[in-house]
Structure 1
Amino acid sequence: MSRVGGRVRQAGSVRATVAGYLLHTDRVHRWAPTAPALFHLALVHVHGRAAVERAEAQVVRRH
């Protein structure tokens, strides 16, 4: 769990939220080339590779 904006959120929802933000149709083609990789590595550092890749796969399936 983490505290985001005064609320406590589950780690899985944070990972899925970040991945969804990156893939949102308004933003997907507007990122600097390194931004998505930096977001991914930051999440891996905090939550671990397996958990992040699982959450990203869920978001990709929904998009």
Structure 2
Amino acid sequence: MARPHMLKLPEVLDEIEMSRAAFYRMRARGKAPKLIKLPNGQLRCRRSDLDAWWEQVEKTAA
């Protein structure tokens, strides 16, 4: 079974065109895509979680 594609936080920020500070504010409100914290402290986002978040944002905006 293949591992899911994981994006680094800078890649996520680049794709959603958002600053790190704005992303963390959104995350504190529970509105950001799901992140996974690795044992070394780095954050990752599954491609599937980011795609699901995009769909939710589009539904909310419509």
Class of the TM-score when normalised by the shorter of the 2 chains: 0.3 to 0.5
| Higher relative helix content | 1
Counting strand residues as a fraction of each chain, which structure ranks higher?
2
